[in-house]
Structure 1
């Protein structure tokens, strides 16, 4: 096998390439995807590889095939980005939101840490005081993710703005690093499922009778600097959504 052949991308890499373009808005809802022939030429792959990549995107709800027409980017895919994907998009584009996305209902307050799992991840005692920031992501008019940030109290020494509910103009950890010189790193994303709490259903606009069990997908990310954990994210996804990373 030649060096050129050994470097040919697989279907997963091609699918990842187009996921990024869709996530960044370079390919917007309703846009035509490149033809299979163009994909084969661009990536120097066989038609079977290109076809499998396109089939993957279709199965993920990112594209749709119209009879007699080319493959199109889906108008309103039932897909919400993972926290990791959001961070990667921000790093690539500098944009805090995906196309047609915004965040609402921002809150910031000092609260007692009441969740044992999140307390362990943040390395604080149960009921210790933390900074709690929440917001809800909305895309195409639909509430998609209720996001909770649990932040260690030591962070407000250098970033007191964390106590204001106003959104930061940039990722707050970048402000923290600029002021302290401490680099923040992220642990691998944890994924699971549980029943939604009442306030989470309210934030996501899910109208069900009180006490109705509603299973939701939950993603958790932990961020640390040289002194230990500094922030834990918990993202709760609206029922009926699924998530794909851009990698």
Structure 2
């Protein structure tokens, strides 16, 4: 996994302080000079770190005054919305994966419809256990249309982010839809997650699309109920900005 840039490390530290309550809404961030000393970093690096938090909506602009904490839950960038790996890293969590199988198979009628493929299309499917800090967190069922699945077949799915691999191969993921509900763990889920059959799971069903609307992926992710939660931010200019966040990121 590539090393983090210095400014992302500083942003992650400040983000964690905000989530832990060490910096509460209304509190001022340490000054640039203080942060430079604390992290032995250049002023430009510190400013870049604070800009990341500002873009996430958890600190103020600081124009003419000290930057203050606005919220404890960041908005979620699009890449984190799609990629489990990037979501975990942004949350200060170490992601992992254990592939159960990767296969090319005939799409059932429902998947063919979701991927806009003929009923006899051969799609690429993946089943993986995803971990957070080496603990079971989610069972991932991924299904790809043939032209995109070809990239998945050339990838070591135990090595990291399929999303990033697709991007590295020129696949443009421009938009996604998500349906969020709950369901009981079946036998496969229970075995992989180490829970009883029937344990409630948070399910996120996602479809991802190219800029011209071509379906790339249809996924079914099933999280342990204590590993993730959903936050929604609504504004006049953005009626619904829904983020998947680690449970530790929110207070109940």
TM-score range, shorter chain: 0.5 to 0.7
- Equivalent in the alignment of 1:202: 191
- In 1, distance between residues paired with 2:98 and 2:145? 22
Query: RMSD of the TM alignment (CA)?
Result: 4.4
- Equivalent in the alignment of 1:129: 122
- Equivalent in the alignment of 2:219: 233
Report the alpha carbon displacement of residue 155 of structure 1 after superposing the two structures with TM: 2.1
- Equivalent in the alignment of 2:202: 217
1:1-247 equivalences in 2 (<5 Å): 24=12, 26-28=14-16, 32-34=22-24, 36-38=26-28, 42=60, 57=72, 85-87=80-82, 98-106=91-99, 107-114=101-108, 117-125=110-118, 128-157=121-150, 160-162=153-155, 164-168=156-160, 171-177=164-170, 183-206=172-195, 208=196, 212-225=197-210, 226=212, 228-244=214-230, 245=243
- In 2, distance between residues paired with 1:113 and 1:129? 6
Report the alpha carbon displacement of residue 224 of structure 1 after superposing the two structures with TM: 2.2
**Distance verdict in 2 for CA 1:23–1:133, change over 3 Å:** farther
- In 2, distance between residues paired with 1:239 and 1:43? 35
Gaps of 5+ in 2: 1-7, 30-58, 63-67, 231-242, 246-252
- Would the aligned equivalents of 2:127 and 2:141 in 1 still touch at CA under 8 Å? yes
SS at match of 1:183: coil
The TM-score, its normalising length taken from structure 1, stands at 0.56
Name the stretch that deviates more: 103-112 or 117-126. Answer: 117-126
How many residues align structurally? 187
- Would the aligned equivalents of 1:23 and 1:89 in 2 still touch at CA under 8 Å? no
